[in-house]
Structures are given as structure tokens and as C-alpha cells.
Amino acid sequence: MKSKTSRYIFCLCVLLPIVALYAFLRFVPIGSTFYLSFHRWNLIDRFKPFVGFGNYAKLFHSPEFLTALKNTTIFTLGTVPLTFGIALALAVMLKSKAVSRYAPFYQFVYFLPVVTSMVPVAVVWKWIYDPRYGILNYVLSIFGAQPKAWLMDPDTALPAIMVMSIWKVVGYYMVILLVGLNAIPKEYYEAAAIDGASGWRQFTSITLPLLKPIILFVIVISTINAYNVFTQVYVMTVGSQGAPGSVLRVLVYDIYENAFRFYKMGYASAEAVVLFLIVAALTALEFGLARER
């Protein structure tokens, strides 16, 4: 009996500080975001007037927010399927007997951009995309293309950043998918081969269904990350000193600007709530789709 009490005391002593930390670092801020989103506040005023859904109404009339929403959605719709497709193709290639001997080497190489942090990599890609001396324009000029100011033109800035973002993360998802592929028992393929199933048939009937939980994981995580894109956009397209604003507005940038440059705390919180709802809805949708099939 005594030992049971001492176990309870241990649990209490361990969990209490951690719960307190969670309350301070997660629960309260998450709750306050919803609370603030219904108020107007500039960080200095003593009063926070309640404005109901006023901030939300303003959001959907703000051209900046709508542009940010559009850009972020295009970014997500473009990068998530492409990243997944490339990563899966790479993983399947690495799994093939013909190259599996060199697989550790390839994994290492494709993982280089994953381990490096985003800011230095974004700085380097900005240089690659440079309108006058960038190596990309040089390579394209060999094929007779006109030089382009990739990151300064809103039309090309988004695709340019998408390419760089796919480059950065594809190795991560490749390794995850490879772990999933390795977990599929060999016997399934041997049985299918005896039954005369072609390689493509084996892929669609064995690999894809058995890989489904991993695929779901990859799609969900990459969607969440894509909707939260910020760092590379901030480094590569935000105007330099004295020129506020961004060529390419994304949701988190809009939150950042409204909260920490204009001190519209309530408005920025409403944006954050919308971002959260989008991410939650997409995650639910992806889980729903995975269950159906």
C-alpha cells in the first residue's frame, strides 16, 4: 500500500511542473489567441474593446490577407504533391536491387539540404536567382533564354521559392518513405511475382496500399509545414532596409507584419485562428480521404 502512495506522489511531482510548463507555454497562449481574436488591441492601450467577429470581417475584406491566403494555398498545392511524388520516386529507385548497394551514399547526399537550416540555404538560393549575376540566369542564357528577375517579379517569385522549398525537404520524405518500403515483407512481392504480376501491378496493389499510413503521415506533415511557410519567403523576397512589405505575401508573413510591425494584436490573432482552422480542416480532410480508400 505504501508503495502505491509513493508512486502517486512520484507521478504528481513529475507531472505537476510539466503541466504547469504546458499551461504557460501552450494552453494559455492557444486559448488567448482565440480570445484576442475577438478584441481590438494595440499592445499599449489599457482597454481591449470587444469587437465580436469584427476582426474576421475585416480580414476577408483585406487585399493583403486575401493575397497571402491565395499565395500560401498555391504554394501548398504546388509543393505538397510534387514533393511527395519526387520523394516516392526516389525512394522506390533506392529500394531497387540495382542501386540498393549505394543507397546509404544517396541518402547522405539527398539529406544534406534537410540537415542545414533554412536561412543560410535561402541566402544561397537568393544568390542563385540573382537577376544580374545569378548562376541560374547564366545557365539559362546558354540555352538562349532572357535573364529574369526571379524573386522580384511576383509571378516568378512564388514558383522560384517553391522549387527551392521542394529541394530543401525532398530528402526527408524520401528517407521516411524508404523506411516504409523496407517494412513491407519481401514475401508479398515474391508471391505476386509467382502469380505473374508486373512491376507496375505490384506497385499499385502491394506497395501503395501497405504504404498508406506513411503516405498519410508525409502528406499531413508537409501540408502543415507548407501552410506555415515563412523563413525562406522572409529571407528571399522581403525588401531590404527601408522598404517594408514583401513581394510575395504569405499568411505567416501577414501575421508577423500585423502583430509586430503594426501592433494589431487582435487582428493578427484572428489571422492566426484562420490559419489554424485551415490546417486543422486540411488534416481532417486528408485523414478522411485515407480512410475512404
Partner 1 sequence: MMRFKALILNFVLISGGILMVLPFFWMLSTSFKPTEEILSWPPKLLPGRWTLEHYKGLFEWPFERFFLNSLLVATLSTISILITSSLAGFVFAKHRFVGRNVIFFLFLATAMVPFQCFMVPFYITLVKLHLVNTYLGIVLPMLVMSYGIFFMRQNISSIPDDLLDAARIDGCSELGIYLRVILPLSRPAMSALGIFAFMNAWGSFIWPLVITNTRDKFVLEVGLAMFQHRFFIDYGSTTAGATVAVLPVLLVFLVLRRNLIEGITLTGLKG
Q: What residues from 178 to 207 belong to the interface with partner 1 (CB under 8 A)?
A: 179
Residue 76: CB atoms within 10 A of its CB come to 22
Q: How far is the CB of 142 from partner 1 (least distance, A)?
A: 9
Among 33, 62, 73, 156, binds partner 1 (CB under 8 A): 33
Does 94 participate in binding partner 1 (rule CB under 8 A)?
Answer: yes
By beta-carbon proximity to partner 1, the closer residue of 66 and 235 is 235
Task: Point out which span in 27-35, 49-57, 58-66, 76-84 binds partner 1 (CB under 8 A).
Answer: 27-35
Of 135 and 289, which CB lies nearer to partner 1 in the complex structure? 135
Residue pair 55/40 in contact (Cβ under 8 Å)? The answer is yes
User: Is 104 near partner 1 (CB under 8 A)?
Assistant: yes
Distance, C-alpha 248 to centroid of its chain:
17
* Residues within window 51-70 making contact with partner 1, judged by CB under 8 A: none
Site for partner 1 in 223-252 (CB under 8 A): 224, 227-228, 230-231, 234-235, 238, 240-241, 252
Subset of residues 263 to 292 that bind partner 1, contact rule: CB under 8 A: 265, 268-269, 272-273, 275-276, 279-280, 283
The pattern of x and - marking residues 124 through 143 that bind partner 1 according to CB under 8 A reads xxxxx-x--x-x--x-----
Looking up cell 505575401, which residue turns up? 249
